[in-house]
Structure formats: C-alpha cells, structure tokens
Amino acid sequence: MLWYKGWLETRFRILVALAFGIFFIVIMHNANPKTPAAAQAVMGVLALYWAVAPFLLAGVGIRTQPSVQATKGLHGSMYFTLSMPVSRFRLLAVRATLGMLEAIGVIACVSGLAWFAIPILRMHSTGADLLAYWVAASACASSFYFLSVLFGVFLDEIWRVWASMIAAYGFRWLLARGFMPSFANLFQSMGASSPLFTHRFPWASMGFSLGIAAILFLAACKAVQVREY
C-alpha cells in the first residue's frame, strides 16, 4: 500500500524529471561536441542536473501531494498518510527509498540516452564505462536527494525545493573557493572526473556522498518521529 500510494503521488514527477533531462540532451546533441574537453564540459552541465533533479523526486516523505506543483501548507493526502497503521520510520523509509529508486531510474535513462546521442562519448568510453557512470552518478546524487528529504520533514513543499537549491549552490560555492577537499567535489565526479573519462570509479567521492546521505536520512527519521503535524 505504501509503495503503491507513493508511486501514484510521484509518477508525474518522474515524467517531468525525464522531460528536463531529455531537453538538456537535445541541447547537447545540437551543440555536437567534437573533443573530449568539450564532452567533459557537456557532462559537467548534466552533473549539475543530477544535483537538482533529485529535489523533485525527494518530496515523497511525510509531506506529500499527488502533484508536480510546489505548494505551501499541508495537503490533505498527508493526513491520510499519517493515519495509516505504520510507524513514521517505516513510512519515511519506504517513501524515501521509492524516491531514490526513481531518481536512479531517471539517471539511468537520461545518461544512457546522452551516451547514445553524443558520438564523442561513445568514441572515448564503453558500455561498461556507462554502467560505471550510472553507479557513480547515483551514489554522488544520493546526498543531494537525502538533503531534500530532510528539508521535506519540516518545510513546506515550495520552501523545501528552494532550500535544497540554495544548499546545493552554497556547496558548489564552497567547492569553487577551495574550502572543501577534492574528494567532496561531487559535481566533478559526476562530470569531468566520472568513469566516462577516467574509466574508474570515484570511490572517495562516492563514499563521501553515501556517508552524508546516511547521516541526513537518520536525521530525517529522528526529526519525523518527534515532530507534531
């Protein structure tokens, strides 16, 4: 029941995320990068999208509504969700897992389409590299996803999205100013330093992101258990 209800409330979000991803691919295809450096720049743009796209799919926690439109206040479906005979921990865990699986699926579809649509990527990488890229991008995007899950516990939908974007921009600003170690540059690990170009996993960045994601998820679980709705 939880899985099915979450699917009904997020299926249109998946279509929107895919539509934006395809839009970026069309632009990249028309740009027709011809050198590895140009391809890295193109994938750098896609890396920014992997940091933002999870915000749309992360709205599957306690505060939910069957819409792609960000709203203020409490939606009626939230009260029905809270009335279900399950613990808040299980509720958040199931719905957060569903959203993350959907984000992983979007990354798989869009990155695969980008690999087929941009010849320079196929020339310098293999199908195995594409699979490695999908794993690496999913791992690196998980921290952004669970940040938005945490914000979704105590912020309205519209403020959750804005807070997530501001936090992502602030993180990128810190990276650009050299305030963070190199392994923390998740954008680089999903772009120029991804397996598509280095042919190896960015293990340090993946571990860093997954560790942050776990901390954020535990914080969200704690917050949702003590919060009154």
- Summarize the confidence of residues 3-25 as an average pLDDT: 84
Distance CA 59, CA 165 (A): 14
Structure tokens at 30: 């028309």
Distance CA 36, CA 38 (A): 5
- Average pLDDT of the chain to the nearest whole number: 84
C-alpha to C-alpha distances, 69 to 34, 64, 85, 100, 202, nearest whole angstrom: 38, 11, 28, 19, 35
Distance CA 136, CA 186 (A): 10
User: What are the backbone angles phi and psi of residue 62, rounded to the nearest 5°?
Assistant: -70, -45
Give the CA count within 13 Å in the CB-facing half-sphere of 140: 32
Are 208 and 183 in contact by the 8 Å Cβ rule? The answer is yes
User: What are the backbone angles phi and psi of residue 61, rounded to the nearest 5°?
Assistant: -95, -130
Q: Note the pLDDT tens digit of each residue in 188-198.
A: 999 989 999 99
Distance CA 86, CA 65 (A): 19
Structure tokens at 119: 């010849």
Q: Any idea where the domains of the chain sit in the sequence?
A: 2-226
User: What are the backbone angles phi and psi of residue 147, rounded to the nearest 5°?
Assistant: -65, -45
Q: Note the pLDDT tens digit of each residue in 199-213.
A: 999 999 999 999 999
Q: Note the pLDDT tens digit of each residue in 52-95.
A: 888 888 765 555 554 445 444 444 555 555 556 567 788 888 88
Q: Note the pLDDT tens digit of each residue in 130-172.
A: 999 999 999 999 999 999 999 888 887 788 888 888 999 999 9
Distance CA 44, CA 192 (A): 6
- Summarize the confidence of residues 15-38 as an average pLDDT: 85
Cα-Cα end-to-end distance for the chain: 22
